[in-house]
């Protein structure tokens, strides 16, 4: 097992990374209060709910659960209210702990509920997908989607701890594992060219679910994110770099319908668009773009998206959280391993980058 810390002063918290982690030794000390509400979904509950429920009950906790349907399309105010309903019906108090057991959707919704219920209660993340282990479980971003934009309603809520067990990734469908690798590749592209070289050497092992290699990839990804979050918790500057490919990707998700494409799949194509635009500006070479595309293909990720009318694509981008005073800012690549936040790009070149990755016909 390896342990990282997100350094936020008196809110410092650990990320436990390994296989067959010991719940009693690592996680239990971070379960505060007597009442525990485990928020999970219909896919994860049959696999892991009993295991964690029993562990918490053995130390004298009162454990209840809220089981939501599985899917991005349920990440909205209607289903968020089901968590509040469960907390209120079971008479939970403000010393309780909300435990997110699942992927990014569950983590975001349970975290938002924990931030809001009685103006804030304790919160622990148990991410069960690769994408949530390397991205959404770390850093305190929580929230829900709106029909006009993804993740536009939410709150910052840091967990007490993150518990990332590689052995749970065995239950992931190959498509979900690949979606997680998209976010892993993101960290390499935006700030760590040595990690990029490592990924190019080991991507086949990661696709095959090698737990040792996955643990290394999760550790390096989380280490990168933890450092950025410690410097810029509320995304006033540097943290926006973590959105490489996301402005484009969110437009794909929003137009096609949440859940039709997995988040990591949309981000993969979005990163290609960002690389393409960076090449048009003169920052990347065409060979660099091919290198990115090749790695994404080896990770079994899409590199083209179904045709979307350009005006509608741009409309969704205009609702992005990185729009500041009416000006769209993008995360682009000065080089592989060096991302920048910029509003200084030619709109026509951006439009061309969007169109270059549409499936034609």
Tokens for 112?
């938002």
Tokens for 17?
């990374």
Q: What's the rounded Cα separation, in Å, for the pair 121 and 95?
A: 6
Q: Reply yes or no on whether 246 is catalytic.
A: yes
Catalytic pick among 157, 213, 220, 263: 263
Q: Please, are residues 292 and 193 in contact by the beta-carbon 8 Å criterion?
A: no
Q: Reply yes or no on whether 243 is catalytic.
A: yes
Catalytic pick among 72, 183, 216, 253: 183
Catalytic pick among 64, 75, 141, 220: 141
**Angle ∠(221,225,231) on CA atoms, nearest 5:** 155
Q: Reply yes or no on whether 239 is catalytic.
A: yes
Catalytic pick among 246, 253, 293, 329: 246
φ and ψ of 301, to 5 deg: -105, 150
Catalytic pick among 235, 253, 265, 293: 235
Catalytic pick among 41, 145, 151, 243: 243
Q: Reply yes or no on whether 233 is catalytic.
A: no
Catalytic pick among 239, 265, 293, 329: 239
In sequence order, the β-bridge partners of residue 335 are 338
Q: Reply yes or no on whether 253 is catalytic.
A: no
Other CB atoms within a 10 A radius of the CB of residue 194 amount to 10
Q: Reply yes or no on whether 250 is catalytic.
A: yes
Q: Reply yes or no on whether 298 is catalytic.
A: no
Q: Reply yes or no on whether 224 is catalytic.
A: no
Q: Please, are residues 65 and 41 in contact by the beta-carbon 8 Å criterion?
A: no
Catalytic pick among 225, 253, 293, 329: 225
Catalytic pick among 78, 91, 119, 348: 119
Q: What's the rounded Cα separation, in Å, for the pair 105 and 70?
A: 8
Closest among 303, 289, 291 to 196, alpha carbons compared: 291
The set of catalytic residues is 119, 141, 183, 225, 235, 239, 243, 246, 250, 263
């Amino acid at each position: 097992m390896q342990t990282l810390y997100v350094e936020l002063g008196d809110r410092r918290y650990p990320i436990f990374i390994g296989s067959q982690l010991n719940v009693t030794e690592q996680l239990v000390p971070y379960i505060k209060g007597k009442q525990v509400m485990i928020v999970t979904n219909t896919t994860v509950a049959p696999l892991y709910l009993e295991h964690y429920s029993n562990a918490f009950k053995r130390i004298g906790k009162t454990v209840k659960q809220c089981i939501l349907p599985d899917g991005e399309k349920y990440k909205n105010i209607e289903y968020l209210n089901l968590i509040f309903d469960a907390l209120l019906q079971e008479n939970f108090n403000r010393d309780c702990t909300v435990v997110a057991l699942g992927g990014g959707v569950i983590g975001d919704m349970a975290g938002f509920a924990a931030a809001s219920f009685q103006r804030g209660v304790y919160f622990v993340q148990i991410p069960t997908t690769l994408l949530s282990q390397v991205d959404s479980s770390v850093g305190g971003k929580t929230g829900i989607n709106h029909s006009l934009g993804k993740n536009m309603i939410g709150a910052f809520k840091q967990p007490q701890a993150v518990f990332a067990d590689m052995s749970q990734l065995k239950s992931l469908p190959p498509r979900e594992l690949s979606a997680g690798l998209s976010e892993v590749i993101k960290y390499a592209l935006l700030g760590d060219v040595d990690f990029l070289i490592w990924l190019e050497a080991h991507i086949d092992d990661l696709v095959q679910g090698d737990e040792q290699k996955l643990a290394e990839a999760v550790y390096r990804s989380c280490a990168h994110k933890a450092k950025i979050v410690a410097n810029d918790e509320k995304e006033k500057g540097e943290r926006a770099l973590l959105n490489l490919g996301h402005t484009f990707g969110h437009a794909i998700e929003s137009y096609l319908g949440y859940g039709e494409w997995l988040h990591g799949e949309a981000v993969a194509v979005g990163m290609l668009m960002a690389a393409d635009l960076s090449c048009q500006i003169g920052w990347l070479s065409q060979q660099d773009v091919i290198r990115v595309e090749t790695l994404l293909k080896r990770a079994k990720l899409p590199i083209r998206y179904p045709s979307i009318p350009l005006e509608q694509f741009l409309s969704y981008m205009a609702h992005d959280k990185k729009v500041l005073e009416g000006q769209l800012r993008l995360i682009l690549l000065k080089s592989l391993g060096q991302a920048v936040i910029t509003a200084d790009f030619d709109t026509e070149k951006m439009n061309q980058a969007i169109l270059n990755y549409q499936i034609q016909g």
